[in-house]
Amino acid sequence: MKIELDCLPCLLNQILRASRMVTDDVETHEKILREANDIISKYDSYSYAPEVGRVLHFLVKKHTGIKDPYQKLKQKHLKMALQYYPVLKRFLFDKEDRLYWVLKIAVVGNVFDAAINSEIKDGDDLMKELAVEFKKCELERFRKQLKNARTMLIIGDNAGETVFDRVLIEELLNLEIVYAVRSGPVINDATIEDAEQAGLGRQVKLISTGCDAPGVIRAECNPEFLKVLDEADIVISKGQGNFETLSEEKREIFFLLKAKCPVIAGRIDIDAGDYLFTTYRINN
**Separation between Cα atoms, residue 208 and residue 115, nearest integer Å:** 21
Point out which span in 32-40, 53-61, 149-157, 200-208 binds a second copy (CB under 8 A).
32-40
Point out which span in 26-34, 85-93, 177-185, 236-244 binds a second copy (CB under 8 A).
26-34
How is 160-200 classified by DSSP, letter by letter?
A: THHHHHHHHHHH-TTSEEEEEE-SS--TTB--HHHHHHTTG
Residue 44 or 140 having the CB closest to a second copy = 44
- Side-chain half-sphere of 118: how many Cα atoms within 13 Å? 19
Residues 245-284 binding a second copy (CB under 8 A) are none
Q: Where are the beta strands (DSSP E) in 106-158?
A: 134-137, 151-155
> SS3 sequence, 228-274?
HHHHCCEEEEEHHHHHHHHCCCCCCCEEEEECCCHHHHHHHCCCCCC
Compute the least distance from the CB of residue 12 to a second copy, in Å.
Answer: 4
Compute the least distance from the CB of residue 9 to a second copy, in Å.
Answer: 4
Residues 41-60 binding a second copy (CB under 8 A) are 41, 44
Compute the least distance from the CB of residue 35 to a second copy, in Å.
Answer: 9
Question: Residue 83: in which H helix or E strand, if any?
Answer: helix 71-93
Residues 119-158 binding a second copy (CB under 8 A) are none
Compute the least distance from the CB of residue 71 to a second copy, in Å.
Answer: 24
Compute the least distance from the CB of residue 47 to a second copy, in Å.
Answer: 16
User: Which one of residues 29, 166, 182, 258 is an interface residue with a second copy (CB under 8 A)?
Assistant: 29
Q: Per DSSP, what are the bridge partners of residue 113?
A: 118
**Separation between Cα atoms, residue 82 and residue 77, nearest integer Å:** 8
Residue 16 or 82 having the CB closest to a second copy = 16
Compute the least distance from the CB of residue 88 to a second copy, in Å.
Answer: 35
- Kindly state whether residue 8 participates in binding a second copy, applying the rule CB under 8 A: yes
Q: What number of H helices and E strands is found in the chain?
A: 12, 7
* Residues 116-131: b if buried by 16+ CB within 10 A, e if exposed: eeebbeeeeebeebbe
Compute the least distance from the CB of residue 201 to a second copy, in Å.
Answer: 39
Question: Residue 276: in which H helix or E strand, if any?
Answer: strand 275-278
User: Which one of residues 25, 34, 150, 170 is an interface residue with a second copy (CB under 8 A)?
Assistant: 34
- Kindly state whether residue 83 participates in binding a second copy, applying the rule CB under 8 A: no
Compute the least distance from the CB of residue 14 to a second copy, in Å.
Answer: 9
- Kindly state whether residue 97 participates in binding a second copy, applying the rule CB under 8 A: no
Classify 208 as helix, strand or coil: strand
User: Which one of residues 21, 23, 33, 55 is an interface residue with a second copy (CB under 8 A)?
Assistant: 33
Count of residues in contact with a second copy, rule CB under 8 A: 17
Binding-site ranges for a second copy (CB under 8 A): 5-6, 8-10, 12-13, 16, 29-30, 33-34, 37-38, 40-41, 44
